[in-house]
Amino acid sequence: MAGNPPRPRITVITPCLNSRSTIEVALDSVRDQGVGDVEHIVVDGGSTDGTVELLSVREGVTWISEPDKGLSDALNKGLAMATGELIGWLNADDWYLPGAFAAVLEAAEAHPAAWWYTGGCPIVDGEGREIRRAVTRYKNAWLRHYTFARYLTHNFVPCPATFVRAAAYDEVGDYVLTQHYAMDYDLFLRVGRLGDPVVIDRDLAVFTMVEGTKSMTGFEAQFREHSEIARAHGQGHPMAVAVNWLASHAITLTYRSLRRFRALRAAPEPAS
């Protein structure tokens, strides 16, 4: 009698640049998952802060360090190196929660025909303290009721907590080099055309949000890309695309107002 088929191999791709202060936590979170076949690929863009020296003494990590054309290019380099059947993208300042890979593998075995798998992803500050709990609850509610049309209205699928089958990349292609902030949204919408994700009812990863990171400094450009991407993939869903445009503009205007308000509050009192 034939035995059970081998569990899928998981590949994690971590793009990084000058990430010495954070990447060890990300590396440890992959190493400590405690499941059998895991491949961790780090694509470094030419760090000068000790990241490369750290990678050179880490066991179980495949890495390269060379200039690239941005985040999408780094991810595509990682994809070209990947040998796993399930592929995750983990930034150098994020990390996986214990048991995440076991939960993904269980979902993959229960739903072998699915193209992608995702779960919850709390947001933390630079000290690892959870923040924006209301945002996380909001996104989790949308995730539990995922449809492609709803996904077109805004990006609520958390990138660090999402795993895509390598076969899906074969179908939809690589990350787009001209996208600098929302390449995950574009890729996931392409995969979403193939089929809905399997939503795992637990937190899988943690997303770090601090001032100075790309997701914060490029906030407005990110939402512009969201709107453009939704329009590019929104055939047959004009209302969802319109909602995305309105929401992106409303969020951007709100963010601008908050920044101005904070700047005014921080400004020194005029001399009398």
Whether 141 maps to a domain, the answer reads yes
Q: What is the pLDDT of residue 270?
A: 60
85 Cβ partners below 8 Å, 6+ apart? 8, 9, 10, 165, 166, 167
The reply to whether 195 falls in a domain is yes
Within a domain: residue 4?
Answer: no
* Strands (E) located in the chain: 10-16, 38-44, 61-65, 86-89, 95-96, 116-120, 123-124, 130-131, 162-165, 198-203, 205-208
Q: 2 phi and psi, to 5 degrees?
A: -70, 145
Structure confidence at residue 214 (pLDDT): 54
**CA–CA distance from 79 to each of 13, 62, 107, 165, 195 (Å)?**
8, 13, 22, 11, 21
218 CA to centre of own chain: 15
CATH number at residue 215: 3.90.550.10
Checking if the pLDDT of 258 tops 70, the result is: no
Number of domains within the chain: 1
pTM of the model: 0.91
In a domain, 159, yes or no: yes
Q: Give yes or no for a contact between 95 and 72, defined as CB atoms under 8 angstroms apart.
A: no
Q: Where are the alpha helices (DSSP H) in 119-218?
A: 133-144, 148-153, 166-172, 183-194, 214-217
Residue 270 lies in a domain: no
Q: Is the pLDDT of residue 262 over 70?
A: no
Residue 74 corresponds to which tokens in the numbers above?
């780094």
- Is 211 a residue whose pLDDT tops 70? no
Kindly tell me if the per-residue pLDDT of 1 is higher than 50: no
- Does residue 134 lie in a domain region? yes
- Phi/psi of residue 89, nearest 5 degrees: -120, 115
The predicted structure's pLDDT at residue 223: 85
Residues 192-213 have a mean pLDDT of 91
The DSSP call for residue 270 is P
* Structural domain boundaries, residue 83: 10-263
Interacting residues of 40 by C-beta distance below 8 A, sequence separation 6+: 11, 12, 14, 27, 30, 31, 60, 61, 62
The percent of residues above 90 in pLDDT, for the chain, comes to 81
**Residue 3, domain member (yes or no):** no
**pLDDT tens per residue across span 93-125:** 999 999 999 999 999 999 999 999 999 999 999
Q: Mind listing the pLDDT tens digit for each residue in 53-90?
A: 999 999 999 999 999 999 999 999 999 999 999 999 99
Residue 39 placed within a domain:
yes
Each residue of 12-64: pLDDT tens digit?
Answer: 999 999 999 999 999 999 999 999 899 999 999 999 999 999 999 999 999 99
pLDDT digits (tens, 9 = 90+) for 160-200: 999 999 999 999 999 999 999 999 999 999 999 999 999 99
Higher pLDDT, 262 or 66: 66
Q: Residue 217: pLDDT above 80?
A: no
pLDDT digit string, tens, across residues 130-158: 999 999 999 999 999 999 999 999 999 99
Q: Are 103 and 210 a contacting pair, CB within 8 Å?
A: no
Which pLDDT score is estimated for 218? 67
Q: For 196, which DSSP code? A: P
Would the pLDDT of 255 be above 80?
no
